[in-house]
Amino acid sequence: MADDLQKQAWFEEFKKVNATDHNAAGALPTGRAERRRHTRFSLHEVGAKLYRRGATTLFGLAGLNIEGSVLDLSEGGLRLETAEKLLRDTRIHIKIAIAKFGDSLEADAVTKWCHATPKNPEVFQVGIEFLNPDPSLGRKIAQMRGWFTSAQYKSLRDSQLRAAAKKKL
């Protein structure tokens, strides 16, 4: 019973932290201060590979290659979903392949948080902050923001989702 209450409390906090709905003026929901310097934008079907940094990797004691799916991205970091739980402050090197641009993003980073998803405790969402990002990384992400937030992309994505839903029926 106490475990259920703890899960419910965690889920409520998770929803607050990950809320994205803003009012008409663009303000954040009441009682929540935004700490990010850069606005996130959503990505769909974009994979990432994480490579751990540190002494354990030198001796082959830690898994070097972790795969995940990027959920959203900004010039300061990203949120991804993965099957492996990562500890806070884990130093990593991340590679993100962006097929649309025929390019990839690479950066050293650090995990800021990691939580199991409410629907599946074996899937984790991880907040990642870029460490000393190269200015070219910021320019690439700004270009990507232009595409992934455009009306053209949203229309194309919606039509792909409808087509996929029809195939399932």
| Residue bearing the bigger pLDDT, 126 or 98 | 126
**6 in a structural domain:** no
| Residue bearing the bigger pLDDT, 95 or 1 | 95
**129 in a structural domain:** yes
Domain of 53: which CATH number? 2.40.10.220
- Show the domain range for 56: 38-164
Q: What is the 3-state secondary structure (H, E, C) of the chain?
A: CHHHHHHHHHHHHHHHHCCCCCCCCCCCCCCCCCCCCCCCEEEEEEEEEEEECCHHHHCCCCCCCEEEEEEEECCCEEEEEECCCCCCCCEEEEEEEEHHHCEEEEEEEEEEEEEECCCCCCCEEEEEEECCCCHHHHHHHHHHHHHHCCHHHHHHHHHHHHHHHHHHC
**68 in a structural domain:** yes
**112 in a structural domain:** yes
Q: Does pTM top 0.85 for this prediction?
A: no
| Residue bearing the bigger pLDDT, 110 or 14 | 110
Mean per-residue pLDDT of the chain:
79
Question: Would you place residue 161 in the very low, low, confident or very high pLDDT band (cuts 50, 70, 90)?
Answer: confident
Mean pLDDT of 138-157: 88
Q: What percent of the chain has pLDDT over 70?
A: 72
Question: Would you place residue 71 in the very low, low, confident or very high pLDDT band (cuts 50, 70, 90)?
Answer: very high
| Residue bearing the bigger pLDDT, 144 or 100 | 144
Mean pLDDT of 157-168: 86
Q: What is the pLDDT of residue 166?
A: 86
The number of distinct structural domains making up the chain is: 1
User: Around Cβ 104, how many Cβ atoms within 10 Å?
Assistant: 13
**95 in a structural domain:** yes
Which range (12-21, 30-39, 82-91, 95-104) has the least confidence? Answer: 12-21
**150 in a structural domain:** yes
**157 in a structural domain:** yes
Q: What is the pLDDT of residue 34?
A: 53
pLDDT in tens, 95-105: 998 877 788 89
Whether 112 has a pLDDT exceeding 90, the answer reads yes
CA distances from 5 to 9, 102, 143 (A): 6, 47, 44
**29 in a structural domain:** no
